[in-house]
Amino acid sequence: QEIFGVLKPVIYGCALAYLLNPIVKQADKYLVPLLKLKLKKKGQAEKVSRAVGILAAVVLLLVLIVTLCNLLIPELYSSIRNLVITLPRQLDDLVSELSEVKLDDSTTSTLIKTAIKEGTDMLMDWLRTDLMAKANELMSNLTVGVLNIVSEIFNAVIGLIVSIYILFSKETFVRQSKKCVYAVLSARHANMVLHLTTKSNDIFGGFIIGKLIDSAIIGVLCFVGLSILKMPYVMLVSVIVGVTNIIPFFGPYVGAVPSTILIMLANPIQGVYFVIFILLLQQFDGNILGPLILGDKLGLPSLWILFAVCVGGGIFGIIGMFIGVPLIAVIRMIFNDVTRFQDIKTIIRKSDILK
């Protein structure tokens, strides 16, 4: 844990470099041929193109962050403030309506009345004790939370600087890594390791970037749809749906359940409409948008995806639920390739014996 805390800026830097690298590669692809026509000095075109690509990637990242903060933070603050103000009254109204439900005197009705009374008593006790205690605990830890946020922002800034150095020198790092692999392993095994590393990078890069784009589009579509339907907590619910959509398999349900509860507390009919809307949105994502963006990069059955999310979430939490699926895909790919490699060796050995 302490080592992870010390290495956080480096880890952030590696992650940012990985995410920004496609932009830098595209800039090199288009700029290097043009610059070579005008810059005759060897290596100068590559350096200028790399600098322009990194500058464009960093500016795009900062513009995206600032734009999202300007759009999301005021709306989220307004939604959360309205939620805090209206939630107690909504819960009181719900309890009152449940208490006034009139039923006949049958055994089933008596059981329902008892269940409603016990449920409302438990809800009120939770509101008076646990919720207030959690609120007090949250307020007491607010200063610590602010300091942690400032610390994470500082680590992210250092990580951004580290990512710039990594992107400038990525070819050098790749060459050094290859030298280390060939120095430690035989040529045949080193080629196998580099082949698996390249394919693993394709799986991870395609899945992570594709899933981020897919979730961002789903969040925007959710915001547009909820705005048209005039739902409450539009921005808050859209952020919840978009962020949780990153998690494979369970993500849509993780985001839909609390969002449905929030909307139903404000307006039960709108809650029903939201359930129908989110089901249609997830069908669109699962059958059209997701395959269009991600394609068949993983090739995993549903059971493997479920296993990856459960194991990854159990070990590493939310991040594990996200990276568990491409990690399992990489492990499966390595197993298949190693098995195929061993089969080829066996075939060659048998052919030598026949000769």
- The pTM for the full model equals 0.65
Say which residue, 22 or 309, is predicted with more confidence: 22
pLDDT of residue 59: 92
Instruction: Note the pLDDT tens digit of each residue in 96-144.
Output: 665 555 555 556 666 666 666 666 667 666 655 665 565 556 555 555 5
Least confident of 24-28, 39-43, 119-123: 119-123
pLDDT at position 347: 45
User: How many other C-beta atoms lie within 10 A of the C-beta of residue 184?
Assistant: 10
The separation between CA 315 and the C-alpha centre of its own chain, rounded to angstroms, equals 16
Mean pLDDT, the chain, rounded, equals: 77
Across the range 60-74, mean pLDDT stands at: 81
List pLDDT tens digits, range 133-153: 655 565 555 555 566 777 888
**For residues 82-99, average pLDDT:** 64
Q: Phi, psi at residue 39, to the nearest 5°? A: -110, 110
State the average pLDDT over residues 219-229: 89
Higher pLDDT, 273 or 68: 273
pLDDT for position 144: 58
CA distance 32 to 48: 8
In sequence order, the 6+-apart residues with CB closer than 8 A to the CB of 66 are none
The 10 Å CB-count burial string (b at 16+, else e) for 47-77 is eebbbebbebbbeebeeeeeeeeeeeeebbe
- Top-confidence range, 39-48, 220-229, 330-339: 220-229
pLDDT (tens digit per residue) in 234-286: 887 888 888 888 877 677 778 888 888 878 777 778 888 898 998 898 888 87
Which of 274, 289, 192, 282 lies closest to 230 in space, CA to CA?
274
Residue 260 has a pLDDT of 85
Reduced to 3 states (helix: H, G, I; strand: E, B; else coil), residue 101 is coil
Mean pLDDT across 201-209: 80
Q: Which residue has the higher pLDDT, 152 or 322?
A: 152
pLDDT at residue 346 in the model = 55
Q: How far is CA 173 from CA 42, 166, 185, in A?
A: 21, 8, 18
